[in-house]
Amino acid sequence: MKKYIFNISIIIFLLIFQLTLPIFFPSLNLIPDFILIYIVIRAIIFGAQDAMIYGAVGGLLQDVFITSFIGLFTPVKTAVAFLSALLSGRFFPENLLIPPLGVFLATIVHELLYLLLKENYLFAANYLTLIKDMILPMAALNSLITFFVYLIYFFWGRRDLSGQT
Amino acid sequence: MFNFNRNTLITAVILISIILVFSFIYFTEIDLPIFNWLSDLIYNLISPIINLLNQLVESVKNFFITLFSIDEINQEIKELRQRNSVLERQILFLENINRENQRLRELLDFKEKVNYQMLGAEVIANSPSIWEKTITINRGSKDGLKARMPVISYQGYLVGRVENVGSSSAQVRLITDHNFVVGGIIARTDSREIGLVKGSGRDDRPNIMDSIAWDADLEKGDVVLTSGLSNNFPSGLKIGEVEAVETDNYGLSQKADINLFIHQITLEEVMIIKNFNSINRESIQSSENLQLENEAEINSDEESEENDGDSESEAN
């Protein structure tokens, strides 16, 4: 229970950070999806079950700040968490490029799924332009952040291990 | 290829079932009070934290701004005092003109222009998604806010409309959102063309004004205002400027790119028009009443004419 409360608190903190970042830096064109980064990293490290729960919670919180209690982010984030977990246990932790690559692909899938489910974008959107102008830069930004976050996580873990031995 | 353990699969099945049920509710737009209550609860729990954080950052920022620019502030105060005295004189002059205007309106029996009740608010959060253009403001139902109230900037530019209202904060759907549509009118003395201004869904792209008549007179640089025809927004709010005009629907209509005025400013503070809907409703009601009265008058005239006709025929 303690673990769930701790992780949900982190997701709430990330949501607040994501919501307020453009207010403090109005010139930012793209705002990274910190909740997505957190969920994908959790999916890669801890597996599908854990990530899907937090994916649903994160999506639900994001939906509350758009229009309704259950919107599109809840199913999309849960699905992306499930797909990201396919990478879980399939690479060495020393391979620092796998998590950013996972987040890059997850962002593309996440945004495309959202657009396909969004009624007013589905037929009206120019997908090629949106991918080029918005989705790919955002995926690159998310994966860059993931690289540094995973780097910190990795060296933090090694420091703990070296302390034990 | 991928081996998931039993617990993972059970969790996946449960979550997918729950999400499918919720998605069904979302797509069929069934309004369940429990969901609204839960949504309000989460929103009202998180938004005060954002508000507090915003206030904290603002106070720290203001402290440092004051600290490092004390000379500039003193100079500005001096200039503002001078300007204030000039403005006070102008107010006295304008009050006289206003009285004269009111008197002339009464003489000509003109309808009185409505003074809207405004409420200032600070923008405390942005949208959590790149596809949804919304902002969160620090005013809510406690301050009398209701859904669909028009939101403008301090310069009078149309910003959007109130979408969801919490107890101490509210979400505003911006004019740039893909879902946003407002009636627009060209503000030129020799051209009053109308059309629909639709959000592009992107901050770096202009909005589109379409459904314009094929022979409409539009030029680059024309200012677009709200038409007020939809009864959702007051007329005369500044929207933007025409950037480019092109034919649409194989020449049956025209569409124009509109550069929004709100892109020229940083949205930090906005104003909400609180009494527009009630005024609007009153005006609709009064026009309906007027129509009913007219119809009643016409009916009574027809009846009296018929009666006159009958009496004439009886007399004959």
pLDDT at residue B266, rounded to an integer? 79
* pLDDT, tens digit only, all 316 positions of chain B: 455 667 777 777 777 777 777 777 766 666 677 777 887 888 888 888 888 888 888 888 888 888 888 888 888 899 999 999 999 999 999 999 988 888 888 887 766 566 778 899 988 888 888 888 889 898 888 888 988 899 999 888 999 999 888 888 899 999 998 889 999 999 888 888 889 999 888 878 888 898 888 888 888 888 999 988 877 888 888 999 999 988 888 888 889 999 998 887 778 889 999 887 655 655 555 555 655 555 555 555 555 555 555 544 444 4
Q: What share of chain B is helix, strand, coil (3-state, %, to 5)?
A: 45, 25, 30
Confidence (pTM): 0.76
Q: Using CB atoms and an 8 Å cut-off, which of residues 65-94 of chain B contact chain A?
A: none
Q: Check CB contact under 8 Å for A82 and B12.
A: yes
Give the nearest partner residue to A52 out of B12, B123, B171, using CB atoms.
B12
Q: What angle do CA A121, A122, A123 make, to 5 degrees?
A: 100
Class assignment of domain A2-164? mainly alpha
Contact A115, A127 (CB under 8 A): yes
Cα A76-A81-A84 angle, rounded to 5 deg: 120
pLDDT at residue number A162: 47
- Whether the CB-CB separation of A56 and B26 falls below 8 Å is answered with no
pLDDT of residue B126: 86
Using an 8 Å CB-CB cutoff, list chain A residues near B267. 26
Sequence-distant (6+) residues with CB within 8 A of A165 are none
Answer yes or no: is pLDDT of A140 > 90: yes
Smallest Cα distance from A155 to chain B, Å: 28
Yes or no: say if B149 and B217 are a contact pair by the CB < 8 Å rule: no
How many Å separate Cα A56 from the centre of its chain? 12
Q: What is the pLDDT of residue B116?
A: 79
Closest CA to B239 of B194, B179, B281: B194
Residue B25 and residue A72: Cβ atoms within 8 Å?
no
Whole-number pLDDT of residue B290: 53
Locate all alpha helices (DSSP H) within A25-135, ordered by sequence.
Answer: 34-46, 48-64, 73-84, 98-117, 119-122, 127-130
Nearest residue to A68 via CA among B147, B230, B12, B13: B147
From A23, A52, A66, residue closest to B129, measured CB to CB: A66
Q: What is the dihedral of CA B67, B71, B73, B77, to 10 degrees?
A: 150
Residues of A (53-92) whose Cβ lies below 8 Å from B: 53, 56, 60-62, 64-75, 78, 82, 85-86
From chain A, the residues in CB contact with B42 under 8 A are 60-61, 64, 69
Count the helices and strands in chain B (H runs, E runs).
4, 12
Q: State mean pLDDT over A84-93.
A: 80
Q: Answer left, alpha or beta for residue B144, where phi above 0 means left and psi between -120 and 50 means alpha.
A: left
Does domain B117-282 correspond to CATH entry 3.80.10.10? no
Query: Token pair of B278, please?
Result: 């009630």
**Can you tell me the ipTM of this complex?**
0.81
The arithmetic mean of pLDDT across residues A20-32, rounded, is 82
Could you say which DSSP state residue B5 is in? -
**B38 close contact with A: CB closer than 8 A:** yes
Which region holds residue B222: left if phi is over 0, alpha if psi is between -120 and 50, else beta?
Answer: beta
Radius of gyration (C-alpha) of chain B in whole angstroms? 27
For position A145, what pLDDT does the model report? 93
DSSP strand pairing (B194-198 vs B181-186)? antiparallel
Q: Who has greater pLDDT, A129 or B309?
A: A129
The rounded distance, in Å, linking the Cα atoms of A115 and B173 is 18
Distance CA B13, CA B10 (A): 5
pLDDT band at residue A161 using 50, 70 and 90 as cut-offs? very low
The domain ranges of chain A are 2-164
Interface probe, candidates B55, B64, B132, chain A, greatest A C-beta count within 10 A: B132
Average pLDDT of span A46-61:
86
Neighbours of A88 (CB within 10 A): 20
* Residue B296 vs residue A75, higher pLDDT: A75
Q: What are phi and psi of B31, to 5 degrees?
A: -95, 105
Q: What is the pLDDT of residue B315?
A: 44
